Structure 1
Amino acid sequence: MKRIVKILLILIALLVLLIIVIFGLRLFNQSAYNWDEHEFVYDYHDYNTYPSEFAGGIVTHFENGEANGFHFEPNDPIDAQPIVMFGGSEGSSNFEEAQTLAEKGYETYALFFFGTPNQQDTLNRVPLEFFSDFIDAFTLEDEPLTVIGYSKGAELALNLTNYYSTIENLILYTPGEYSYMGLEFSEESGSSWTWQGEELPYISFDDASGWSLTKMMVDMLIARPVEYRETYETAVKKLRYSRRCSH
């Protein structure tokens, strides 16, 4: 009995020590990298925090079906295609970049694609048909569009071109050549995107190497800058290997 108690005490001591080490590393990394945890907690969907005008025009928030975002209308628009903006996995509409372009005379739309009351709560199984609701809201069926996407928004933009011929030009920042799984990180995770109720093919993080996933989780835990690239690359590598083995 005494031996069991002793083992339990040792385990408890090790657990406490681990918690202290993690807490200490978090404090160190927050100081070393100038992290401010409150800085990253931003409600992109609090529409009252956005301006209703910009230098040279007005901004209007809109909702239609599963479309949600902002319409930037310059007072003196230039002769150019309307521009549609997407942010990334952080959940923003890329409002600031859209405003910068609008100030140069471009009619611009900054769109959310998840996280708003009329959309998917998380970036998981997002119906691409929200883009139809956007087009309908502004009668853009016959209007050539330029779409600018950042990161996960670039992945979205590439997928939209398979279904919407009105997209004539793409400008992509940090794009990928594949579609990846949603970012819900639960048993409910599937493809990031759906079309007509069916999930689009995707690469799962379940196929990433155990080391890359462990390292990513540890970095998150101790507030160290997270490197996602290895996780994505090892998942793609496994897919390519599987394809070679199947031929």
Structure 2
Amino acid sequence: MIVGRDVTGRLVEIIEHVISAPCEGVLVEPVGGGRAGVLVLAGSSGRVDTERCRVLARAGLTALSIRWFGGDGQAPGICEIPLETFVAVIDLLRGTVRGRIGALGLSKGAEAALLLAVHDPRVDAVIALSPTSVVWANVGPGVDGVRHPYRSSWTWQGEPVPFVPYDDSWTPADPEGEPVSLRPLYEQSRRTFADAAGAAVIPIERSAAQLVLVAGGDDLMWPSLTFARELAARCASAGRPATLVTSSDAGHRPRLPGEGPADPSDRFRYGGTVEADAALGAAAWPQVVAALVGDPGVSG
């Protein structure tokens, strides 16, 4: 048992459980159980996000994070990952909590969470941090160890989900040896493969899940604010407005209250600042919790 403070300073006791099935991961819950459950998906780091689960557990939620690639028996990269991987985790959460079930993902994890909500109607809410509005090609090799030619990041019922490939003619403008911004790569690839991009749109309007989108205008990894606005527009067209929380100076890695700063990188430029990323997470926090627990009194 771990004793910590929530964002109001109140002492909260939480319990951590290491799990090995259906995937390697950790389940963190307040003593006495959570009032709702949430699947937590990290981005392309592939890590089990214990810190984020602890923050959510201190807010009264049962939070479960898994390693969805790079583990035993899994693809070493984000390549043709079965969305059924996440469906199995929803099964586990459904057997653990009585309340709502949500999915919270960052970046590629948000891509997975959005697709999961399209295919699994048991997902009541999606919190998409720095999301994309289209499915992208693989990042790294599949179970066969092959990176090229490009394949989808995801499959559903054994079939690849339509995707946008990367334009290999792109070269970074950043000085050699310096961290790279990949945003221009994603923008160029979408223009180059416009037909594929049209087929790869995430049809979030097909999901009844409550949607909270969190995106920074200074995201240098990909244009998440543009993507978030596109997702919000698709929801609005179906008569289910989404909540969009944004700021012009935040980057790719918003931080929720109680989380420390994201680790620095010598490979990529993520944009934003420590202060701006924390401020965006703090601004989104009431909407995040409200969507996960089903509180209609808080809106964006």
TM range (shorter): 0.5 to 0.7
Q: Please state how far the C-alpha of 1:189 moved relative to its aligned partner.
A: 3.9
Residue 237 (structure 1) aligned to one of 191, 198, 207: 191
Write the mapping of 1:148-159 to structure 2, written as runs, cut at 5 A: 148-159=104-115
Residue 154 (structure 2) aligned to one of 173, 189, 193: 193
* In structure 1, distance between residues paired with 2:196 and 2:116: 27
Q: Percent identity?
A: 25
SS at match of 2:74: coil
Q: Please state how far the C-alpha of 1:238 moved relative to its aligned partner.
A: 2.0
Q: Please state how far the C-alpha of 1:62 moved relative to its aligned partner.
A: 1.1
Question: Structure 1 residues 93-102 or 235-244, which shifts more?
Answer: 235-244
Partner of 1:182: 138
Aligned amino acid, residue 38 of structure 2: I
Unmatched tracts of structure 2, length 5 or more: 5-12, 142-146, 199-300
Partner of 2:65: 110
Partner of 1:214: 171
Q: Please state how far the C-alpha of 1:195 moved relative to its aligned partner.
A: 1.0
Residues 70, 234 of structure 1: alpha-carbon distance in 2 compared, 3 angstrom cutoff: same
Residues 92, 107 of structure 1: alpha-carbon distance in 2 compared, 3 angstrom cutoff: same
Write the mapping of 1:67-216 to structure 2, written as runs, cut at 5 A: 67-77=23-33, 80-140=35-95, 144-184=100-140, 186-187=147-148, 189-205=150-166, 208=167, 210=169, 213-215=170-172
* In structure 2, distance between residues paired with 1:101 and 1:227: 30
Residues 241, 119 of structure 1: alpha-carbon distance in 2 compared, 3 angstrom cutoff: closer
Q: Please state how far the C-alpha of 1:215 moved relative to its aligned partner.
A: 1.6
CA RMSD of aligned residues (A): 2.6
* In structure 1, distance between residues paired with 2:56 and 2:41: 13
Write the mapping of 1:31-46 to structure 2, written as runs, cut at 5 A: none
Residues 137, 83 of structure 1: alpha-carbon distance in 2 compared, 3 angstrom cutoff: closer
Residues 143, 166 of structure 1: 8 Å contact kept: no
Residues 79, 140 of structure 2: 8 Å contact kept: yes
How many residues in Structure 1 have an aligned counterpart in Structure 2? 184
Residues 68, 118 of structure 1: 8 Å contact kept: no
Residues 134, 118 of structure 1: alpha-carbon distance in 2 compared, 3 angstrom cutoff: farther
SS at match of 2:191: helix
Report the TM-score when normalising by structure 2.
Answer: 0.55
Aligned amino acid, residue 224 of structure 1: E
CA deviations over 1:56-87 (Å, ceiling 9, x no partner) = 1211111224x331111211445x32121111
Report the TM-score when normalising by structure 1.
Answer: 0.66
* In structure 2, distance between residues paired with 1:165 and 1:196: 16
Unmatched tracts of structure 1, length 5 or more: 1-51
* In structure 1, distance between residues paired with 2:197 and 2:39: 36
Residues 64, 133 of structure 1: 8 Å contact kept: no
Residues 74, 107 of structure 1: 8 Å contact kept: yes
Greater Rg by CA: 1
